[in-house]
Amino acid sequence: MANNIPEITLKQMKFMKSKKSREQLAINGIMIDIQPYMFPPKSPYSYSTKILLDSMNLGRQRVLEIGTGCGILSVAAAKQGAYVDGVDILPECVQFSLDNAIRNGVFQKTRFYYSNMFSNVEKSYDSIICNLPILEGELPEQDLRWYSLFDPNFNFHKELFKEGKKIAPRIIMAHADIAGKEEFNKLEQMAQKYNWQATVNLEKEYAGQIWRSYTFNQEGNSQR
């Protein structure tokens, strides 16, 4: 399997495995605790986090974050004035997100709980934010923590666009051309299949890859 994994992803896996203890990071004025194997918002692979932090403008919206991880996007959205529910498939991520919200003074604007995508969420939000695993592929090890990097058959992405339209009129997410230059077209075509219109908010080159922040609006709803 390793022969099919891009070099940048292999480096990220090695980076995550090298972390043996809990540590604290400062990103965009936000203090975040992370644990080993948790997707770090400061690493060789985490420009997807930065490009979202640099492009989100959520105001006082009601927001759902899918796959909250350490909670940094939820905390950032709450600091902008949003009211945020953050969900994750890993219970330890739910607890870390809660701790990080308390640490950054946004506890009253955030809630965190377990959900596998939309399985346990409320049904009405202004926006969904997410930093889904960018690479399509099976988990290299049978460990749910690698869902931070790998999306088998792009099932998470398909569910995001299919079920997300029942939840909110807008999705904000990151993507990159890690697996090739056609990755952006594949993502946009997948969204279009479920009647989402794509807008690129921000695009930058980092570590030899192109990274984008997208807004997807349901067709007929052009609010950004």
Burial of 129 (0-12, 13-18, 19+ CB in 10 A): buried
Whether residue 62 has pLDDT greater than 80 = yes
Report pTM: 0.93
Confidence at residue 82, expressed as pLDDT on a 0 to 100 scale? 98
Q: Which residue has the higher pLDDT, 103 or 35?
A: 103
Burial of 161-191, coded b for 16+ CB within 10 Å and e otherwise, reads beebbebbbbbbbbbbbbbeeebbeebbebb
Q: Are 222 and 196 in contact (CB under 8 A)?
A: no
pLDDT tens figures, 69-114: 999 999 999 999 999 999 999 999 999 999 999 999 999 999 999 9
Domains of the chain: 2-218 (3.40.50.150)
pLDDT tens figures, 205-220: 998 999 999 999 998 7
Whether residue 47 has pLDDT greater than 60 = yes
Whether residue 224 has pLDDT greater than 50 = no
Confidence at residue 3, expressed as pLDDT on a 0 to 100 scale? 54
> 54 falls in which pLDDT band (50, 70, 90)?
very high
pLDDT tens figures, 168-182: 999 999 999 999 999
pLDDT tens figures, 117-162: 999 998 899 999 999 999 999 998 888 889 999 999 999 999 999 9
Give the closest residue to 125 by CA, choosing from 62, 219, 217: 62
